[in-house]
Amino acid sequence: MNAIYLRRSRKVVLKSGSGSQADDTIAAMQKNLEALGFVMSPALMERVRTLEQDGLASFYRSLIKDLRELVGAHRGFKPMYPDFPEQVREISEGRLYLNAILHYLTNKLPVFAKSERSALAEAVELRVIDLGDREDFERIFTRLAGAKTSLSPSDKADLIWFVSQYQERIAPLLPSEIPSKENLAVLGAALIRHAPATADVLSSQIKTATDVLRLAVALSDGDVSLASSVKFIKFTRAWRRTLLAWLERTGNPVEDMLRWKKRWIRLGERLHPGDYAKDFPKTFAAFKALRNNERVVTFNSQMESLLAVRDAMGALRLLESRPGDFARRLDHLLRIATDHDTVLARFRPMVARVSTPVLLQMIAHFQQRHSMPDLRIFFPKGEVGKLFAIPCGLPDLPTSVISEVVSICEATLVERFSKKPSLGSCWLDERMAHYNVPLAQRSASKALRTITRGSRLPLPDAKVLRFFIWWRNGSSRTDIDLSAALFDANQRHVDHLSYYNLRNFGGCHSGDIVDAPQGASEFIDVELDKLRTAKVRYIVMMISSFTSQPYCDLPECFAGWMSRQESGSGEVYEPSTVQDKLDVASNTQICIPAVFDLDAKEVIWADLALKNHPAYSNNAINNLSSLSLMLRSLTSIAKPDLHTLFSLHVRARGSRATSQDVADTVFSTTAGVTPMDVDRIRADFL
């Protein structure tokens, strides 16, 4: 339980005891936590003080284990050159080359005596661990289940953990509504497996054929976003009947089923609708139509035909029953319509039925429409974090029309938010504009901090950034490479640090390790002042699987970065200096964790994948064009930000406070509701 609570909220549940621990004991515990970059809050210290000796020992072992895993200290880090970085800087080019060749031929590392290193001599900002309670812990489940956007793999795993542990006792924790259909499928499959008596909650939530399909995919451990295919399991007779009954009550499911025709045909082979033709005739007819390729006129086919001939009025009539589709196609309709007022007049009465995430995306899109960069950025569905960029090139729209669309969307959200409880006086940090709203987390990696892609975090006041990676072999020898590509202010490639270029004017690489039966690690140091002198602005951190195994096939792989003042101070790997650490477990061979903007002194959170199967040697130089495109995309991304979202909430149900100290509600990067409170934002503010 506390492992989840720590990772998500930096809190633990700890029952009070009858002991009285001495100050020296508490101080020793605090000192050991500091080495990992954490500190106990006063409330937690006092609770720990009440523990008896056995309870203290058990809590301490568990806490240290969980914290070490959070920052990566649960694994041993042994770089090729143990006195990195000085050792790499001092060895001749010839010796570096020969050491690498010998390692490639024998898979053995060169043997060096490790020199004594000075103690870490820099101040570290510690992360506070607070005392929580079971009620607050259980709210994690309620917020996950009630999230209005998709969940990440670690979110889904935590959701399933709650159901598997609580079983039928999960019922009181279920939210009244499960708005995300993807999350409904994951939750539904967990309820069916672990709390079947509670699964009747699904009956009122499943409303479309695609809802049924997602649930069948979740029961088969597939991708509920439907971005990839799945092999369906054999369903029991009872669940075949239940799934078919839900399909029957959706009305005419054929059009919905045609969107995923091949999946439905495969699912039909498991559901045997012919056995229930008399009980569910519409469903049987729908499967028959799919198998026989019967011609069906669908909504999308009609809409595309109307847009192709620029029939805006016909499209408006067709969209009157589909507010979500109307909202997503509004820009297109305004571009082809001769009368913008008519389009907006039709949109106004429907906008109240458009979801909050879609309205926020509309506001961001139209607000930046006149100043859009030359690329439009998309994050496609799926469990791999991909980014697509296409040329923008949208025709202009009148400024008055754009302003009206934004006003309509904002007024609708203010009206919607005004029905929520009052926030009182509010303090809103302007820096929240640098953080994106968590709208698409389905492919987000498990990380030390939960951050939305494209968000910009302040870069610590450091002289050196130290990137790191740790991995262990999969079913065969596995070579994972850590690289850093350097670009100037115009996003032109300057240089890179990698296994074939261990040092340059701005840093050095710890050496290429190509086999990790017991685990291996690589590091890169970049010296920020030297890079700025060399006109480097952007550093793109890159991880690539040289031996072509996807990361999801490895038993463990994680990466991150540290903030250091002196490269030779402390051990090569110092847990307390870890700023971010994320698990690399996606079904791809190339990952970009982050981009570092040295001029703006910001970290752009990426957590993105490049191509699944590179057609040539998988390294930084051979993927330079893709890296450049990713850099351009991440630095010009236009997505809804948290400042906009929270401003609308303040307008709707609060007032502006003159200072943070007197505010009832605080929206800040460091206090109150922060960008890291993803669970709360998704459930309570979207």
Structure confidence by residue, pLDDT tens digits, 220-237: 999 999 988 899 999 999
- The number of angstroms, rounded, from the C-alpha of 395 to the middle of its chain's C-alpha atoms is 33
Closest CA to 212 of 175, 264, 164, 261: 264
- The number of angstroms, rounded, from the C-alpha of 91 to the middle of its chain's C-alpha atoms is 40
CA-to-CA distance for 645 and 414, rounded, in angstroms? 10
DSSP 228-260: S---PPPPPHHHHHHHHHHHHTTS--HHHHHTT
Answer yes or no: are the C-beta atoms of 581 and 72 closer than 8 Å.
yes
Q: What is the mean pLDDT of residues 119-134?
A: 91
Share of the chain above pLDDT 70, in %: 94
Confidence of residue 619 (pLDDT cuts 50, 70, 90): low
Range of weakest confidence among 4-18, 65-79, 203-217, 382-396: 382-396
Q: What is the mean pLDDT of residues 284-292?
A: 92
Cα distance from N-terminal residue to C-terminal residue, the chain: 27
The stretches of 222-339 forming alpha helices (DSSP H) are 237-248, 254-258, 261-271, 281-291, 299-308, 312-319, 323-328, 330-336
Structure confidence by residue, pLDDT tens digits, 152-190: 889 999 999 999 999 999 999 999 889 999 999 999 999
Closest CA to 445 of 592, 342, 286, 625: 592
Structure confidence by residue, pLDDT tens digits, 320-355: 889 999 999 999 999 999 899 999 999 999 999 999
Q: Could you tell me the pTM of the whole model?
A: 0.90
Look at residue 614 in the predicted model and tell me its pLDDT: 47
Range of weakest confidence among 240-244, 285-289, 296-300, 397-401: 296-300
Look at residue 119 in the predicted model and tell me its pLDDT: 87
Above 60 in pLDDT, residue 317?
yes
CA-to-CA distance for 242 and 252, rounded, in angstroms? 17
Q: What is the mean pLDDT of residues 305-325?
A: 89
Q: CB atoms < 10 A from the CB of 597, how many?
A: 18
Task: Give all domains of the chain, ordered by start, each with its CATH number.
Answer: 1-71+128-174 (no CATH), 180-291 (no CATH), 299-417 (no CATH), 424-438+640-685 (no CATH), 456-635 (2.60.60.30)
Above 60 in pLDDT, residue 384?
no
**How many CA atoms lie less than 13 Å away from 410 in the CB half-sphere?**
19
| 110 against 379, higher pLDDT | 110
